[in-house]
Structure 1
Amino acid sequence: MTVNDDSFTNWKHREEIAESMIPMIGKLHRERDVTVLLHSRSLVNKSVVSILKTHRFARQIAGAELSVTETLPFLETLTTLDLGPAQIDIGMLAATYRADDRGLSVAEFTAEAVAGATGGNKIDRREGRDVVLYGFGRIGRLVARLLIEKSGSGNGLRLRAIVVRGGGDRDIVKRASLLRRDSIHGQFQGTITVDEDASTIVANGNEIRVIYADDPTSVDYTAYGIKDAILIDNTGKWRDREGLSKHLRPGIDKVVLTAPGKGDVPNIVHGVNHDTIKPDERIMSCASCTTNAIVPPLKAMDDEFGVRRGHVETVHSFTNDQNLLDNYHKSERRGRSAPLNMVITETGAASAVAKALPDLKARITGSSIRVPVPDVSIAILNLQLARETTREEVLDHLREVSLTSPLKRQIDFISAPDAVSSDFIGSRHASIVDAGATKVEGDNAILYLWYDNEFGYSCQVIRVVQHVSGVEYPTFPAPAV
């Protein structure tokens, strides 16, 4: 047998193992509300090849490829345990087991590591929480995809309605088509049907009512059987408490804004300050995509090295508020053609840091350039640290943060030398540290942080909504603090 034959046989063997994992992952999700992760990446509804690629990706952050032969025993053990709702990272289980020297079997170690989700420690399965999307643009449709994807167990968030202004003939068909096909993020994973007479879109069995309204104060959501819902405002039309309060109609309990909030509206970056949300807070903001990209690594750097001051320069993909061709715009430069120019503009992300990270004493400034790419941006974070360090120490710290810390769902880490922006389309992290581009000299560190300003941000929005709705389940093994 040749070396190539050996490699192919090994690949087919791993394919077979990955194939056997799919029904176990699906059953845990549907029947017990358990989401199986691999280094913070969900394996639910993933294909054989996707499972194998996720395992292989681990080598970029952990230094060695993780094999399905290594993680399968942990997954098999999970199927035998009396589990309650949880997120369980089999990549972390394998890594911590490898470092454990007590001589425990995989079954014994796994049972101990997830004990907080078994037996008398189990969390009760939550009743589904209604969600309404107000606006159905780029972020609205991606949030809809995520809500539908996560509805498999039937006990989480339930997308009940979208509210839009009437768009004329066959409006609902056109909106369903935009949900079905996306030029950047690809095809919707599943089936979508439309009932024009009932004004509903059915996506993977989720019946979504389309409500037409020009003013939030004109809608009574209880008329559609919606109660205690979380409304996600994707329009950005109202950003202060007075304006957003218009959404607090019958059937709506809380309002989450997908843009920076003004005044006393709390700006939340999940992973950093989501635990500061007061139980009785009814209005909150998820800040901006750029704020979500820079605040987690800024916190990680401040915690370890201290930050005295910093500047962030964002190179941002063009957005829908720019003109396709030169035309009038209330902002002079944004009136120039987005796909033909680099456009200097402002960013509020630096000033928003103080709201999300009030303990940070450093002054952060910022500016932005819009560039002719449709998605994925990069933030260049230039920091003066409180102590001198080395490039190796900074990268080791950020790699460890991305693997084991409470920020591991927000911060990703990549060491690929040829990474470019399109590689990060669909990333679920708020920020991806580019190891190869990182510069450190003395007390100065320059971080290059990629982020999918559409999908990564939408994932952060969903995490905030899960938290305030009570369906954000604990993760095992618990992240290192």
Structure 2
Amino acid sequence: MNSPVDAHRRNWIAREEQAERMIPLVGGLYRNHGVVTSIHGRRLIGLSSIDLLKAHKFARQAGADELSLDASTRVLEALLELEPGPASLDIARLHQAYVDRGDGADLVDFLRGELVEILDGEDGPARPKDVVLYGFGRIGRLLARLLVGHAGSDAGLRLRAIVVRKGSEDDLVKRASLLRRDSVHGPFAGTIAVDEENSTILANGTLIQVIYSDDPSTVDYTAYGIEDAIVVDNTGRWRDREGLEQHLKSKGVSRVLLTAPGKGDVKNIVFGINQDDITDDDRVLSAASCTTNAITPVLAAIDEAYGVVRGHVETVHSYTNDQNLIDNFHKGSRRGRSAALNMVITETGAAKAVAKALPQLAGKLTGSAIRVPTPNVSLAILNLTLERTAPRDQLNSYLRAVSLHSKLRQQVDYIESPEVVSTDFVGSHRAGIVDGLATIADDDDVVVYVWYDNEFGYSCQVVRVIEHMAGTHPIVLPERANVTLETMAELAGA
């Protein structure tokens, strides 16, 4: 007679084997068709069988039914049969749409009707867009990892070069080593080879030219076959239009994106909120800050449903390279004290910067920050007074719905767990994660806690902005899941 222990073990092995069979289906859709698959926002590309099982189980934590492996496999096989064009497809939502509206139709025929926008295209894949990383610090290296990871399709972004100041004779080897190993984000997922003679790094088949320069206006990118490139400035040395436009003087550059808050009239773009403000005439743009990207989508959602009268944003932020490891001179107040030993009160412009993406909140928010001795993942505390009463359960239900079904589902995540801590959010692809159990609500006064990976989550937002600038951001389907915040508010009773 089989024991319950044996039965559970056999069931696990069977599920693991089924997940393993899904891996080539996910990979084939990505490599051959440029299709990025996900389950409620959890990307499936490059996942192990165990991670695929975890992605399927996540639906229950998000308040939905667990998606079966059988259902996922059938959707993936049907998609391969349809041979769609580049897109971001949520197979959980596609399956649910089939359950709700399929009426017994053949799955392939149903999906053909749902995905008509990406089927039978006659234009063929678009030419990949050249991208140059100017600077190779924390954000630069994570952008490199993301861009290399997105290189499975020929229709997207193509990392062509990084530009740095030469630090030593073995500079190239050291740069490659920092890309290969990361104390926070772990090892690079793949292989890296260095060619010192030609000053290149080969990462998973992506050949990256390393260019040494201290002047953004004098690099001839065309000498390396780079044309019409988007330069992503990760240095933070220039934040106004005049400084950033130096890049445009170099041959082969068409546009510039800053990975820090832009000053003056430089547009600060938070993807999901105001990317449609980008015009063809915009040559210089900013992707704002990590904190601005984390809080703006959540604030937009809350303002849509309840109206924000005023508020204060307190950021508990991990230390950065701008601070000193041990006490030393720093031009900024308090930042000269040891980052590894102290909590440091400092300023933040994130609250004011929100108004650049959400003009209706101009003058309504104040902000401050505390730098703390952790290397990554930060926490924004939104203390808000609202126009309408927001009962705690209603507010949480609304924010959970936003994370699953709204136009902000790539930016906002939601979690309810009494045990999560900051390191649990390392590697999150979302701009911010609402901690539902921490929410406080008292009539029209609420406090909402938003975690964010201030390195990786922000870098994902930057890549989305680059894709939008390049016209390569994949269409997100199914559209029926992409309902408005107003509808979400109505569903939540707000």
- TM-score interval (norm. to shorter): over 0.9
C-alpha distance in structure 2 between counterparts of 1:123 and 1:56, whole Å: 38
Give the counterpart letter for 2:253 in structure 1.
I
C-alpha distance in structure 1 between counterparts of 2:416 and 2:151, whole Å: 34
Which deviates more from structure 2 when the two are superposed, residues 88-97 or residues 443-452? Answer: 88-97
Partner SS state of residue 384, structure 1: strand
Where does residue 333 of structure 2 map in the other structure? 332
Where does residue 342 of structure 1 map in the other structure? 343
Partner SS state of residue 163, structure 1: strand
C-alpha distance in structure 2 between counterparts of 1:443 and 1:332, whole Å: 35
Give the counterpart letter for 2:72 in structure 1.
T
Which deviates more from structure 2 when the two are superposed, residues 240-249 or residues 54-63? Answer: 54-63
Instruction: Tell whether 2:126 aligns with 1:126.
Output: yes
Instruction: Tell whether 2:409 aligns with 1:408.
Output: yes
Unaligned runs of 5+ in 1: none
Where does residue 138 of structure 1 map in the other structure? 138
Which deviates more from structure 2 when the two are superposed, residues 256-265 or residues 147-156? Answer: 147-156
- Conserved in 1, the CA contact under 8 Å of 2:125 and 2:154? no
Which deviates more from structure 2 when the two are superposed, residues 124-133 or residues 1-10? Answer: 1-10
C-alpha distance in structure 2 between counterparts of 1:36 and 1:241, whole Å: 37
Where does residue 355 of structure 2 map in the other structure? 354
Give the counterpart letter for 1:387 in structure 2.
R
Deviations 1:196-227 (A, max 9, x none): 01000110111111100111122111111110
Partner SS state of residue 27, structure 1: helix
Instruction: Tell whether 2:339 aligns with 1:370.
Output: no
Where does residue 156 of structure 2 map in the other structure? 156
Where does residue 105 of structure 2 map in the other structure? 104
- Conserved in 2, the CA contact under 8 Å of 1:345 and 1:368? yes
Deviations 1:394-448 (A, max 9, x none): 1111111111111000001111221100000000100000011011121112110
Deviations 1:116-165 (A, max 9, x none): 21125x77421111000000000000000000000011221111110000
Partner SS state of residue 49, structure 1: helix
Where does residue 250 of structure 1 map in the other structure? 251
- Conserved in 2, the CA contact under 8 Å of 1:438 and 1:446? yes
The within-5 A match list for 1:57-68 is 57-68=58-69
The within-5 A match list for 1:289-304 is 289-304=290-305
Give the counterpart letter for 1:19 in structure 2.
E
Where does residue 193 of structure 2 map in the other structure? 193
Give the counterpart letter for 2:5 in structure 1.
N
- Conserved in 2, the CA contact under 8 Å of 1:132 and 1:161? yes
Where does residue 215 of structure 2 map in the other structure? 215
C-alpha distance in structure 1 between counterparts of 2:10 and 2:156, whole Å: 41
Partner SS state of residue 54, structure 1: helix
Deviation (angstroms), 1:5: 2.2
C-alpha distance in structure 2 between counterparts of 1:97 and 1:362, whole Å: 46
C-alpha distance in structure 1 between counterparts of 2:193 and 2:441, whole Å: 53
Partner SS state of residue 359, structure 1: helix
C-alpha distance in structure 1 between counterparts of 2:227 and 2:283, whole Å: 15
Deviation (angstroms), 1:292: 0.2
Give the counterpart letter for 1:170 in structure 2.
D
- Conserved in 2, the CA contact under 8 Å of 1:217 and 1:246? yes
Where does residue 466 of structure 2 map in the other structure? 465
- Conserved in 2, the CA contact under 8 Å of 1:185 and 1:425? yes
Which deviates more from structure 2 when the two are superposed, residues 105-114 or residues 149-158? Answer: 105-114
Deviations 1:276-316 (A, max 9, x none): 10112110000000000000000011111111111100000
Q: TM-score, normalised by structure 1?
A: 0.97
Instruction: Tell whether 2:86 aligns with 1:85.
Output: yes
Where does residue 438 of structure 2 map in the other structure? 437
Cα distance, 1:16–1:218 mapped onto 2, change above 3 Å: same
The number of residue pairs the alignment matches comes to: 480
C-alpha distance in structure 2 between counterparts of 1:361 and 1:138, whole Å: 31
- Conserved in 1, the CA contact under 8 Å of 2:128 and 2:156? yes
Deviation (angstroms), 1:68: 1.5
Q: TM-score, normalised by structure 2?
A: 0.95
- Conserved in 2, the CA contact under 8 Å of 1:161 and 1:211? yes
C-alpha distance in structure 1 between counterparts of 2:445 and 2:124, whole Å: 48
- Conserved in 1, the CA contact under 8 Å of 2:102 and 2:110? no
C-alpha distance in structure 1 between counterparts of 2:108 and 2:209, whole Å: 46
Instruction: Tell whether 2:483 aligns with 1:480.
Output: yes
- Conserved in 2, the CA contact under 8 Å of 1:55 and 1:68? yes
C-alpha distance in structure 2 between counterparts of 1:105 and 1:197, whole Å: 57
Deviation (angstroms), 1:472: 0.5
Give the counterpart letter for 2:99 in structure 1.
R
Give the counterpart letter for 1:313 in structure 2.
E
Deviation (angstroms), 1:37: 1.4
- Conserved in 2, the CA contact under 8 Å of 1:191 and 1:203? yes
Partner SS state of residue 145, structure 1: helix
C-alpha distance in structure 2 between counterparts of 1:339 and 1:66, whole Å: 43
C-alpha distance in structure 1 between counterparts of 2:59 and 2:32, whole Å: 28
Deviation (angstroms), 1:39: 1.1
Deviation (angstroms), 1:332: 2.8
The within-5 A match list for 1:222-241 is 222-241=222-241
Where does residue 206 of structure 1 map in the other structure? 206
Deviation (angstroms), 1:33: 1.1
- Conserved in 1, the CA contact under 8 Å of 2:82 and 2:108? no
C-alpha distance in structure 1 between counterparts of 2:71 and 2:417, whole Å: 24
Give the counterpart letter for 1:431 in structure 2.
G
Where does residue 36 of structure 1 map in the other structure? 37
The within-5 A match list for 1:378-457 is 378-457=379-458
Cα distance, 1:247–1:446 mapped onto 2, change above 3 Å: same
C-alpha distance in structure 2 between counterparts of 1:445 and 1:112, whole Å: 43
Deviation (angstroms), 1:169: 1.5
Deviation (angstroms), 1:343: 0.3
- Conserved in 2, the CA contact under 8 Å of 1:271 and 1:406? yes
C-alpha distance in structure 2 between counterparts of 1:263 and 1:156, whole Å: 31
Partner SS state of residue 459, structure 1: helix
Give the counterpart letter for 2:268 in structure 1.
N
- Conserved in 1, the CA contact under 8 Å of 2:352 and 2:363? no
C-alpha distance in structure 2 between counterparts of 1:345 and 1:477, whole Å: 43
Give the counterpart letter for 1:134 in structure 2.
Y
RMSD between aligned alpha carbons?
A: 1.3
Where does residue 20 of structure 2 map in the other structure? 19
Deviation (angstroms), 1:38: 1.3
Runs of 4+ in 1 over 6 A off after TM superposition: none
Give the counterpart letter for 1:186 in structure 2.
G
Deviation (angstroms), 1:361: 5.3
- Conserved in 2, the CA contact under 8 Å of 1:74 and 1:106? yes
Where does residue 7 of structure 1 map in the other structure? 8
Deviation (angstroms), 1:274: 0.5
C-alpha distance in structure 2 between counterparts of 1:444 and 1:178, whole Å: 45
Unaligned runs of 5+ in 2: 485-494
Percent pairwise identity: 56
C-alpha distance in structure 1 between counterparts of 2:352 and 2:26, whole Å: 42
C-alpha distance in structure 2 between counterparts of 1:476 and 1:430, whole Å: 20
